[in-house]
Amino acid sequence: MRKAASALDYRELARRRLPRFLFEYIDGGSYGEVTLRRNVTDLEAIALRQRVLCDVSTIELSTSLFGQEIPLPIALGPIGLGGMMARRGEIQAARAAGAAGIPFCLSTVSACSIDEVAKATDKPFWFQLYMIRDRRFMADLIAQAKAAGCTALFFTVDMPLPGSRYRDLRSGLAGAPGFRGNLRRTLQALARPGWAYDVGLRGRPHQLGNVAPVLGKNSGLEDFLGWMRNNFDPRCTWADLDFIRSLWDGPLIIKGILDSEDARAAVSVGADGIVVSNHGGRQLDGVPSTASALPAIADAVGGRLTVLADGGVRSGLDVVRLMALGAQGVMLGRAWIYALAGGGEAGVAHILRLFEAEMRIAMALTGCTSVGDINPDMLVK
């Protein structure tokens, strides 16, 4: 970890530390992973205008998102099973984010429950929600989020059904039920003794915290995967936002927007924000990258709600690129989960420092002294 200088360095540390089925889970995408690659390559292809002889002696990175003043326009996005990458991993990540003053968003399908994270941290966090067939279960999750002091609700809409991820089938995470699947995963875990001891033994219980009450005692990974397949609600429409609004009176952000028409619909239902996202290339393969979809979406909403973005972000430079394309903030995904797997809480804290330093350099060399100065004029046409 002392030699890690980037998110890609932490990716390699994560690959060395995690059992194969967990690394492939966080690293992979759906089908042939075309969109996953586009997210990265389309961002890399964006050229910034380098400017000189500008006074950049003072650079201000702070901003405000949903009423919260934050020192960086960055948040840690929700990642399912995140707590399996390090011992009680969501708690470690939430603590690192809290110490840095940036938001952490807890997934519905996290290893640590809402209550566990709230008790282990001293800073409020965000909560991410899926549309579940069992509306009573959803209502209970929202009530728990409110009781824990969560300050924003992120409603993920691009997962009416789980995407088909070939890597999960090949690694044994999915598609190998019963004794055979358990044996494959156990052998992979034993091949990573550090993870097996720290997470496999010391990190118990391994039940998914928020879903555990509906799965029952002694449930395992296969029970959870089966629950996901059977309980996401493909009947969900825009009208279902009324149900969520009836239970949640704080900021409501719709995550998974990739089309301008859907962005305008989010405005019409009164959403406070959207996340331009293709689920990290993990749902429908072959769709546009976030970077290519973002400008038209930002134009379509015209400042009527807050626009965040995720997908393909591997550096602070990528954060500046997405903001120049129209985002007001960026949610990190793989970057922070690689760092968590490779270095725990200290790794997440370190990657945030790296991103801040990279943003400062990118802004200085493009003549920007505040995040408000980041705009499309920075881009090479």
Query: Which residues does the annotation mark as catalytic?
Result: 279
C-beta separation of 92 from 348 below 8 A: yes
Structure tokens at 277: 């996202």
C-beta separation of 1 from 342 below 8 A: yes
C-beta separation of 322 from 289 below 8 A: no
Residue 332 makes CB contacts below 8 A (sequence gap 6+) with: 74, 75, 76, 77, 310, 313, 351, 355
Considering only CA atoms, which of 28, 71, 358 is closest in space to residue 173? 28
CA 252 to chain centroid, in Å, comes to 16
Residue 239: what are its φ and ψ, rounded to 5°?
-65, -25
Inter-CA distances, 275 with 29, 141, 284, 308, Å: 19, 21, 16, 5
> Which residue is associated with the tokens 């973002």?
294
Considering only CA atoms, which of 102, 98, 97, 106 is closest in space to residue 129? 106
Dihedral, 80, 84, 86, 87 alpha carbons, nearest 10:
120
